[in-house]
Structure 1
Amino acid sequence: MRIAGTAGAAVMNLTILDVYLQNCQSHRTLQKIHTKMLVSGYINDTYAASRILDFTTRSSFIPLDYSIQFLHHLRHPNGFSWNRVMKASVIRDSSHLTLKIYKAMLLSLDGDGDGGALVFDKYTYPILFQACSVRRDERQGQQVHAHVLELGFGSDVYVVNTLMNLYSVCENAKDARRLFDESPMLDMVSWNTMLAAYVDAGNVEEATWVYNEMPLPRSTIASNSLIALFGRKNHVDDARNLFDRMPVKDMVSWTAIISCYEQNTKYEKALEMFRMMVNSDKIPVDEIALISALTACSRLAGSNEGRTIHGLVFRTVSVDYINLLNSLIHMYLCFGDVVAARRFFDSASLLDQISWNCMIAGYAQHDLHEETLGMFHEMMRQQYGSVKPDEGVLVSVITACTRLSSLEQGRLIHSYIKEMRYDPNSILGTSLVDMYMKCGCAEDAMEVFDEMPNKVVSTWNALISGLAMNGLVSESLAKFSLMTTQGDVVPNKITFVAVLGACRHVGLVDEGRKLFDSMKEIYKIEPNVKHYSCMVDLLGRAGFLREAEDLIETMPMAPDVATWGALLGACRKHGESEMGERIGRRLVELEPEHDGFRVLLSNIYACRGKWDNAMEMRHKMKQQSVVKIPGCSSLIHANNDFL
């Protein structure tokens, strides 16, 4: 646009100004218009100045600072001009400037306050309350509220609604309700704002009251928000009843009820509603509904329906949605299809922390420990500095190190945890204790244990069983004693498996008997088959074979194969061939495919001179293709390859 030179350009009116502004496409052109107004003196026309100021606030190519400077240079800005600039500051994510502009507005007024009536209006304060809402600044909002009351705008419904919204955003439903009750006039925005306040606060009773008292017809938005609240608070039947009563249902309505069922583990109903939504030609399927349906399939292991929904994803929305992609990865991992999950992961144009977490945890859950470590190192290489693995990922990686007996990798992960200053919480710390114990580094495990501020029962269990595993039985029992005397942690069933196992390692029969008896008498814990198995093994190793067999016969539950197997091994060790033969025959009947029991029984027959029976047992093993599986070991080469 070409603007005539300023010489002799005193002619300026609203028509000419409007033509200039309609054709203005750049900041430079606006500056020329501004200059022409200054030269012509037309800038002193309040209405004309407000027109150009309105243009600057609506034009994205004009910086907000320019509008603010323009406002401050006006001789008599009107209320519209002040409001436009304040509103622009909120729209342009500069709400921190809104109250500063308002304070400048106050300072510009005459000392007697006569200008107030010309400047302040009912549109000023809603803008200020919106700015406070964006910043969640209740204190500033209360100060503005005082001005509202002083200037007589406290009964305006628009002002009251935005103030109610401010209190709602600041989680102050009490003051929002007070305004609601005291307001002389309420519109649908008032009712919806009050409902939103209670929905955000999670107050089902008050939200339901507001909804029921609303003037008819209620909005679909109000019904949708109440359904979402019912879902969060486990009021599934109320949500469904409200959904069924709604005269008009939109996409959000369907999504809300599907999510309600999914959040409350009613996965079949979630999928049923999703099918109804899909079969309705008028309702499009959105990302949230698809994610809820995919999650329901994951929980139900419904691979066929999950793959059908996967096909729907490609037909309806873009798979580039990161949340949808993560749901697909998680679903296929739940189905056990790790290859498909990795295929989606590799094909993604964008990955976030959840994507990496999901893939790493999936590998760990399927015992693919080398892949778990590989994925973790790949994440650190590609995303170094941009992501910080959460505790769940680190626990998965440490568990992988434990299963692979990879002490070096475990130490590297531990060093990273220290470097990044992770909080040594109970789960992460327990994983490190378990890893060091199973890798034979009891001192390192003790160091981690001592540094943990909060130790839960699983932490103590890892320490007690780990010490016993490393041959430090006295230390293991001492830790158990310390645990029981501190009083803040109570031993559980796993604890007693650990301490009974410690006694078993060194043959502490009397100590084992006392601990076994204390389970019921002191800690009110009913022993399970694992505790009985530990005691049978302890008694059997020490030569108390009759007592061990009597204990099996008095078990309140059916003994498992491991319990009988422990006694069989003890019979072989102590030469109790008659008992061993009897137990061996029973075990072969229980587990005909178990190679170890057949070999033990064959050896017992041989010890008793029953060579025919021994040969017959070996012959049956060949006939039934029962092969003794040779043992194997693994070690880690210097280059971290597993051999």
Structure 2
Amino acid sequence: MSGPILTTLRLKNPKLLLLEFCSCLSHLKIIHGHMIRTHSITDVFSASRLIAFCINPTFQSNLLTYAFSIFSQLENPNLFIYNALIQGFSASENPSQSLHFYTQLQSQGLFPDNITFPFLVKACTKLVSVYMGIQVHAQIIKHGLLNDVYVQNSVVHMYATFGDMKAARNIFRRMHRSNVVSWTSMIAGYSKCGDVKSARKLFDKMPEKNLVTWSIMISGYAKNSRFDKAVELFQVLQSEGVRANETVMVSVISSCAHLGALELGEKAHEYVERNNLDVNLILGTALVDMYARCGCIEKAIRVFEGLPERDTLSWTSLIAGLALHGYAEMALKYFEEMVNTGLTPRDITFTAILSACSHGGLVEKGLEIFESIKIDYGIQPRLEHYGCVVDLLGRAGKLAEAEKFVLNMPIEPNAPIWGALLGACRIHKNAEIAERAGKVLIQLLPEHSGYYVLLSNIYARTNKWETAENMRNMMKLKGVKKPPGYSLIVMEGKVHRFTMGDKLHPEIEKIERMWEEILRKIRLAGYSGNTADACLT
């Protein structure tokens, strides 16, 4: 409704013009009160304008309850009012109310339209209710609205969010006018399911991309641990003249952190500064994490100190980086500073500081912090925290104590915890405890090649060659195969991935010649390879 008709209706009730200047609930109540006194609230148009104002997402207060009270005074609400309420509640903490209004709408003899269904679908998506989503999908078909592009986009997004890519793909393929929204929903869905190959295939086929699409594809690579591909796609984005935003740069910088690619991370930081991007808390934390992971502690601290505000995650990123590179005392210093600021450590914070104690050999301090998790902070220790304690004791050579700790855990120890114990047995050449831990691991994860390899190597190190051979035979018998290892290097701003046995690199012959030359020279210099763990690798 617009133009002369809207102007006429506003002139009939000039108080509606005041809605444009309304900024708080008390002002709204004054306007509403006047409309009640003048009996204009019974006018459906006037009521609809009030309700539409209440559900406006740009308005600071949540006025949905007030909108419902206005609605309850109406004798014959129209479709516009129902749609407004369905829209408002679909984005609220109580999206199931949208479904309630839809049922009520039907009972009033009204017919839903292409505005009704996208918000109903949004409510189902927020509720993570596959069943209700399918029911709404059936209603869309029943009312003949599945060919509407906005309705189609919402249904594609819903199924993609649920991870049902088959259903999403079926609707997407039937769309006559697919747009950037539907393409982006499909790419996001594939990425969420871990199928980045299909996501990239669609991305490359897209007739038109926007920054959201670039961001989702780059973050999809990062979330699926294809950090090299995330950086590579960012470089393509730059070459096409697209200006990245803060969200894109968080994914890129996080990828550089996981790659340990300091040079690329520094270039990404330069890009942020050159383009005057806002180094907000999330982006700032990503920079701290990147520099800390890459061992550039001085820069990590500089960025951290320059953050306008700090939350638990930014403190944790710095502490974790310090722990990773053996700065245990410094990590403890920042941990204590964080606590003194009044911030409560999170699960991940305790994992980081326990890891610092483990790497620094601070056994007593680590055990003290572990005890404080429950006593001082009222947090139930998680499996990750128990794993850190096993690693702490194991690195210190306290293997019997570590095994006893695992056996007396109040929760069932998982594979990583037994794996930490097995790893410590390898370092300290304790085949007896290793055998017990290894047997549990093989029961928990019979297809995991790493534990067979580790246990076999421990047997070999302690000269139990026959038992080591038995482990090798067990792997063959169960059909367990060791996945090929790979390494990543950065050359001239590009990430190169090398997989064991891969001969597909365009310069493989040159690489092999160079490798042979390197081996020749280091052997002449007196290098002798460590073959202690080479029996099964």
Fold-level match, TM-score > 0.5?
yes
One-letter code aligned to 2:104? L
Most deviating of 441-450 and 528-537:
528-537
Supply the distance in 1 between the matched residues of 2:147 and 2:289 (Cα, whole angstroms). Answer: 46
1:422 is paired with a residue whose SS is coil
Residue ranges of structure 2 left out of the alignment (5+ in a row): 499-537
Most deviating of 524-533 and 262-271:
262-271
Match of 1:208 in 2: 68
Supply the distance in 2 between the matched residues of 1:232 and 1:590 (Cα, whole angstroms). Answer: 42
1:197-596 aligned within 5 A: 197-200=53-56, 203-214=63-74, 216=76, 218-233=77-92, 234=94, 235-251=97-113, 252-281=115-144, 283=145, 285-314=147-176, 318-319=177-178, 321-384=179-242, 387=243, 389-487=244-342, 489-595=343-449
- Residues 290/507 of structure 1: CA separation in 2 closer, same or farther (3 Å cut): same
Cα drift, residue 630 of structure 1: 7.6
1:527 is paired with a residue whose SS is coil
Supply the distance in 1 between the matched residues of 2:193 and 2:421 (Cα, whole angstroms). Answer: 40
- Residues 240/498 of structure 1: CA separation in 2 closer, same or farther (3 Å cut): same
Cα drift, residue 407 of structure 1: 1.8
Are the aligned partners of 2:288 and 2:317 in contact in 1 as well (CA < 8 Å)? yes
1:214 is paired with a residue whose SS is coil
One-letter code aligned to 2:406? I
One-letter code aligned to 1:361? S
Are the aligned partners of 1:231 and 1:257 in contact in 2 as well (CA < 8 Å)? yes
1:495 is paired with a residue whose SS is helix
Supply the distance in 2 between the matched residues of 1:332 and 1:595 (Cα, whole angstroms). Answer: 28
Cα drift, residue 484 of structure 1: 1.9
Supply the distance in 2 between the matched residues of 1:635 and 1:616 (Cα, whole angstroms). Answer: 36
How high is the TM-score relative to the length of structure 1? 0.67
Are the aligned partners of 2:257 and 2:294 in contact in 1 as well (CA < 8 Å)? yes
Q: How well do the aligned residues superpose, as a CA RMSD in angstroms?
A: 3.3
Are the aligned partners of 2:87 and 2:98 in contact in 1 as well (CA < 8 Å)? no
Are the aligned partners of 2:246 and 2:283 in contact in 1 as well (CA < 8 Å)? yes
Supply the distance in 2 between the matched residues of 1:592 and 1:603 (Cα, whole angstroms). Answer: 17
- Residues 223/570 of structure 1: CA separation in 2 closer, same or farther (3 Å cut): closer
Cα drift, residue 289 of structure 1: 1.6
Are the aligned partners of 1:231 and 1:239 in contact in 2 as well (CA < 8 Å)? no
Supply the distance in 2 between the matched residues of 1:631 and 1:520 (Cα, whole angstroms). Answer: 40
One-letter code aligned to 1:447? R
Count of matched residue positions in the alignment of Structure 1 and Structure 2 = 484
Supply the distance in 2 between the matched residues of 1:439 and 1:256 (Cα, whole angstroms). Answer: 45
Q: Which protein has greater RCO, CA pairs closer than 8 Å, 6+ apart?
A: 2
- Residues 199/562 of structure 1: CA separation in 2 closer, same or farther (3 Å cut): closer
Match of 2:11 in 1: 159
1:132-211 aligned within 5 A: 159-168=11-20, 170-171=22-23, 172-183=27-38, 187-200=43-56, 203-211=63-71
Match of 2:515 in 1: none
Are the aligned partners of 1:539 and 1:548 in contact in 2 as well (CA < 8 Å)? yes
Are the aligned partners of 1:258 and 1:270 in contact in 2 as well (CA < 8 Å)? yes
Supply the distance in 2 between the matched residues of 1:312 and 1:345 (Cα, whole angstroms). Answer: 18
1:636 is paired with a residue whose SS is strand
Supply the distance in 2 between the matched residues of 1:604 and 1:348 (Cα, whole angstroms). Answer: 52
Among candidates 481, 492, 497, match of residue 638 of structure 1: 492
Cα drift, residue 519 of structure 1: 1.7
**Structure 1 residues 196-247: Cα deviation after superposition (integer angstroms, max 9, x where no partner):** 344446534443344344354x433233323333434422353233222231
Supply the distance in 1 between the matched residues of 2:80 and 2:198 (Cα, whole angstroms). Answer: 39
- Residues 194/477 of structure 1: CA separation in 2 closer, same or farther (3 Å cut): closer
Larger Rg, first or second structure (1 or 2):
1
How high is the TM-score relative to the length of structure 2? 0.79
Identity of aligned residues (%): 32
Cα drift, residue 585 of structure 1: 4.4
One-letter code aligned to 2:101? A
- Residues 253/623 of structure 1: CA separation in 2 closer, same or farther (3 Å cut): closer
Are the aligned partners of 1:433 and 1:445 in contact in 2 as well (CA < 8 Å)? yes
2:13 is paired with a residue whose SS is helix
Residue ranges of structure 1 left out of the alignment (5+ in a row): 1-89, 92-122, 131-155
**Structure 1 residues 457-482: Cα deviation after superposition (integer angstroms, max 9, x where no partner):** 12111111211212222211211122
Cα drift, residue 434 of structure 1: 1.5
